[in-house]
Structure 1
Amino acid sequence: MRPKIYITRKLPEQIIGDLRGDYDIRMWDEEEIPVPLDVLEEEMKEADGLLCLLTEQIDESLIERAVNLKIIANMAVGHNNIDVHSATKRGIMVTNTPGVLTETTADLTFGLLLATARRMMEAEDYLKSGKWKTWSPMQLTGQDVHGATLGIIGLGRIGEALAKRAKGFDMNLVYFNRSRKYEQEKELGIDYLSLEKLLQVSDFVCVMLPLTPETASMIGMKQLKLMKETAVLINTARGGIIDEKALYEALKNRVIWAAGLDVFEEEPVPVDHPLLTLPNVVTLPHIGSASIATRLKMATVAVQNLKEGLAGEPPRNLVLLNKEK
């Protein structure tokens, strides 16, 4: 009997075509709508392998019912949507797709930084709404990026790639990380600071951390008040790292100057979310890795992880519990 695979979102045939001969594949056939929980629960009961997205919360109750499941392949670098502890305890492997989205996400992060600093989205609305009547000296003026200080919170792969881009703008680089990275300090010309000091000296602060119990709500009002009034906060990591209520108050009352957000605590973000009402916030629908080439690579890596796990081989991108600490 062929192993059964369930895929929680429609993927291109070029990605899954070579699976069809060796596996019994079932797939949620919607591209824009996540698989309903009751459907996911029923499919997982019989599946040997699961390929899922960040939109699926694979919790302990689902894992307990998946009696045949051997591997969960997450099509993302993050894996906070999966109860890795419960899966590992039951001998179920969990994998992710690191590396392939590093450069693309760094591109988007720096682009979001530029767009927020120079008020590009606000300027586009200004033009399209017919408000542009003439040129004036201080019209839609923003913050300079070149020569400014960039503080990176979390110097992982994407944080390092972001630092390389910032060097092209002659930015001064500082970072905070759980552990110091001496080799990267030398290679990138980046200085280590405490989180508090980084927030105080940076013109731009980019959050590049995974969401864990330790990083949840790491940036609240106390931290926001340490930042410059002219500072810009960028988050392309995970929404739960920043306290959104505190951020709204800080932006509304000009505690900080602006924010650029690609991620939110709740996704998709409700259209009546207070942050969407502010002119000094640039918002995106979690598109950090959204280039055609990168999304295809992510899907390919997820499929490869599935095949290796179902073949009894250690998947190359196995998530280990010690990475959760």
Structure 2
Amino acid sequence: MIVLHARPSPGFRAAVDRIFGAGVVVHVDEAAPLDEVAPEMTALLHVLTPVTREVIAAAPKLKLIQKLGVGVNTIALDAAREHGVAVCNMPGTNSQAVAEMALSLMLAVLRRTPFFDRRTRAGEGWTADPSELDSVGEIGGRTVGLVGFGHSAGRLAPALAALGARVAYTARTSRDVPYEYWPQEKLSAESDILSLHIPLTDETRGRIDPLAMKRGAVLVNTARGELVDEAKLVQALSEGHLRGAGLDVFAQEPLPAESPLLSLPNVVLAPHIAWLTPETLVRSLTVAHENCRRLFGAEPLLHQVV
């Protein structure tokens, strides 16, 4: 049994049936437990709901956890190893979508799109205090720092350069690319816009200190919320140390109703959908289908993490 644990849109469901075959994949809503299907589950298509040690132990026939995406921090990898369950991800399938979302968040913060959208809808778009326009800006002429230089950052960098930005990056090692390689401290201290493109690991958790960023900078996070010290982020935004932030991910998801981020006017928010486009889903499901075929054919799997 192949199980998709998610809350798929009608288009997502149609793509699953088109690629895997109608009725081949069992859909379980992301908010529902996997208890009923666990005993017969052989492959799990995983999106965001954590795959815990308990889930893996309750699925004796499980042979593959296929992440529809890149980050595997929501999977109990040690338990998968102990139970002989392969874990695979799919680097590169969502890179275009994530790069475009990062760019859109940069633009939305700099141009204050939500603020002017609300005023325009209320018939007040032409009556804002003229000083409000003093706080908009352009990407051109700014330094954009990319934390990590994987697939999504590699697609984003040339677009930023084409818009006139100075692009710098940090990574484990320098790359043969036409952008400046800086250490993390310099990148945070000197970037006008800092965009995150690294996985969440024990090493990277809490790596970004917003109060160590350049005053007046913008933080964009389409990677993982726990990369950032969120309490310091709220402080930096509230006190004006940061110009603004564009956030698609958070330390706790869904974002709690009492989160102070919800009331900050200089923040643009999205519900962890940077990766989620119909185009990404087709690419992802194609890889997942191939890995399921390989699993049942006893062939080497693509992008195996465990």
Q: 1:25 to 1:198 in 2, by over 3 A?
A: closer
Matches within 5 A, 1:1-325: 4-9=1-6, 10=8, 11-17=12-18, 19=20, 25-28=25-28, 30=29, 34-37=30-33, 40-54=34-48, 56-134=49-127, 137-140=130-133, 141-181=135-175, 183-184=176-177, 189-219=178-208, 223-320=209-306
Q: 1:95 to 1:16 in 2, by over 3 A?
A: farther
Distance in 1 of aligned mates of 2:192 and 2:24: 53
Deviating more after overlay: 116-125 vs 131-140 = 131-140
Letter in 1 for 2:251: E
Unaligned 5+ segments in structure 1 are 321-325
Distance in 2 of aligned mates of 1:225 and 1:271: 24
- 8 Å contact kept, 2:116–2:125: no
Letter in 1 for 2:165: M
Letter in 2 for 1:215: T
Distance in 2 of aligned mates of 1:133 and 1:13: 43
Q: Secondary structure at the match of 2:144?
A: strand
Letter in 2 for 1:15: V
Q: TM-score, normalised by structure 1?
A: 0.86
Distance in 2 of aligned mates of 1:247 and 1:239: 11
Number of equivalent positions: 301
- 8 Å contact kept, 2:19–2:285: no
Task: State, as a whole percentage, how many aligned pairs show the same letter.
Answer: 32
Q: CA deviation at 1:208?
A: 0.8
Q: CA deviation at 1:137?
A: 4.6
Q: TM-score, normalised by structure 2?
A: 0.91
Residue-by-residue CA offset, 1:118-146 (whole Å, 9 max, x unaligned): 11111111222333344765333313310
- 8 Å contact kept, 2:144–2:165: yes
Q: 1:164 to 1:45 in 2, by over 3 A?
A: same
Letter in 2 for 1:27: H
- 8 Å contact kept, 1:305–1:316: yes
Q: 1:272 to 1:71 in 2, by over 3 A?
A: same
Q: CA RMSD in A?
A: 2.0
Q: Secondary structure at the match of 2:38?
A: helix
Distance in 2 of aligned mates of 1:24 and 1:163: 40
